């Protein structure tokens, strides 16, 4: 098993830095999938964006060639996030923030 696959099933906290008018507070969820520079997280709450409403968010590293490996060392990673739908190509870019793994 790849080191990064050890993150699947782990709980995460997403701190939203932008937009400033964000009304949902911090987000929490479970990592469902990880691929290179992308994490899919099933949120504990549904979020309404401009284009769609979903509890599934795709997080991508904010900076080129940054990875999610620092999460395994209890560090935050800066991300951009977009709401997505299961089995669809629809997305709604909604946040810039930071993600970290929650310890049990």
Asked if 10 and 31 count as a contact pair (C-beta separation under 8 A), the reply is: yes
In which element (H, E) is residue 84 found?
A: strand 77-84
pLDDT band at 62 (very low <50, low <70, confident <90, very high): very high
Q: Please say if the pLDDT value at position 13 is more than 70.
A: yes
pTM tops 0.85: yes
């Amino acid at each position: 098993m790849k080191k990064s696959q050890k993150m699947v099933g782990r709980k995460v906290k997403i701190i939203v830095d932008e937009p400033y008018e964000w009304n949902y507070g911090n987000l929490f969820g479970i990592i469902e999938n990880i691929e290179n520079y992308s994490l899919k997280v099933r949120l504990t709450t549904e979020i309404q964006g401009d284009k769609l409403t979903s509890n599934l968010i795709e997080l991508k590293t904010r900076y080129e060639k940054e990875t999610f490996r620092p999460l395994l060392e209890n560090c935050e990673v800066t991300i951009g996030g977009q709401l997505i739908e299961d089995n669809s190509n629809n997305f709604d870019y909604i946040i810039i923030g930071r993600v970290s793994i929650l310890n049990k």
